[in-house]
Amino acid sequence: MNNLDPRTRIMMIIAISGAAMFVDKISWLVGLLLLSVAIMLIGKIDFVCLKKQLMGAVGMVVFLFILQAAFGNIYLGALLAVRLLIIIMSAMILLTGQMRDYLLALIQCRMPYELAYMVVLAFHFFPILREEALDVYYSIQLRGTELRRTSVRHKLTAFRRICMPILAGALERAKDTSVAMEARGFRAYNQRTYMRKLKLKKRDAAILIAAPVLAVAFVFAAHYNPVDGVMDRQAAISIMGENAVSISWSSQEEYNGIVECNGKEFKAQCTEVREGRYYRYTAVLEDLKDGKDYEYSVGDGKEMSAKSRFTAGGEETEEFEFLYIGDIQYKLRDRDYGAWGNMIKAAYQDNSDAAFGVFAGDMVDKPSETDDWDALFANGEPVFSRIPMMTTVGNHETSIRPTIYLKMMVLPEDSPLPEEFYSFDYGQCHFVALNSCLFMKERKSEEGYEDTVEAINKWLAQDLQKSQAKWTIAYMHHPMYPVAEDDELYRELRSNWEEIFADNHVDLVLCGHQHVYMRTEPIKGITYVMSNSGNKASNYVKESIKLPNYVKEFYQDLPTYSDVKVAKDKIEFKVFKEGGELVDSFKITK
Backbone angles phi, psi at 337, to 5 degrees: -65, -35
* Distances from the Cα of 72 to the Cα of 29, 151, 154, 476, angstroms: 21, 29, 31, 26
Rounded CA-CA distance 119/491 in Å is 64
Q: Are 40 and 13 in contact (CB under 8 A)?
A: no
Rounded CA-CA distance 123/94 in Å is 10
Q: Are 515 and 538 in contact (CB under 8 A)?
A: yes
Stretch 496-503: mean pLDDT, rounded?
95
Q: Are 414 and 371 in contact (CB under 8 A)?
A: no
pLDDT tens per residue, range 523-541: 999 999 999 887 776 666 7
- Measure CA 330 to chain center: 7
Q: What is the three-state SS of 315-357? A: CCCCCEEEEEECECCCCCHHHHHHHHHHHHHHHHHHCCCEEEE
* Distances from the Cα of 523 to the Cα of 224, 301, 466, 489, 562, angstroms: 49, 53, 23, 19, 21
| pLDDT for 151 beyond 70 | no
Residues 357, 360, 366: CA angle, nearest 5 degrees: 115
CB contact set of 403 (below 8 Å; sequence gap of 6+):
367
For residue 559, say if its preceding peptide bond is cis, omega within 30 degrees of 0: yes
pLDDT tens per residue, range 104-145: 666 666 666 666 666 666 655 555 555 666 666 666 566 555
Rounded CA-CA distance 245/266 in Å is 12
Tell me how many helices (H) and strands (E) the chain has: 14, 23
pTM score:
0.65
Backbone angles phi, psi at 185, to 5 degrees: 60, 60
- The DSSP symbol for 538 reads P
Stretch 186-193: mean pLDDT, rounded?
57
CB contact set of 16 (below 8 Å; sequence gap of 6+):
32, 35, 36, 39, 86, 87, 89, 90, 215
pLDDT grade for 268, boundaries at 50, 70 and 90: very high
Quote the pLDDT of residue 228.
38
Say what percent of the chain tops pLDDT 70.
Answer: 73
Backbone angles phi, psi at 116, to 5 degrees: -60, -40
For residue 26, give the nearest of 343, 316, 331 by alpha carbon: 331
| pLDDT for 259 beyond 90 | yes
Side chain identity at residue 185, one-letter code: G
Rounded CA-CA distance 44/46 in Å is 6
Rounded CA-CA distance 408/249 in Å is 9
Rounded CA-CA distance 546/479 in Å is 17
Q: Are 327 and 358 in contact (CB under 8 A)?
A: no
| pLDDT for 84 beyond 90 | no
What are the chain's domains?
A: 6-223 (no CATH), 227-313 (2.60.40.380), 317-589 (3.60.21.10)
Highest mean pLDDT range out of 44-48, 506-510, 556-560? 506-510
| pLDDT for 505 beyond 90 | yes
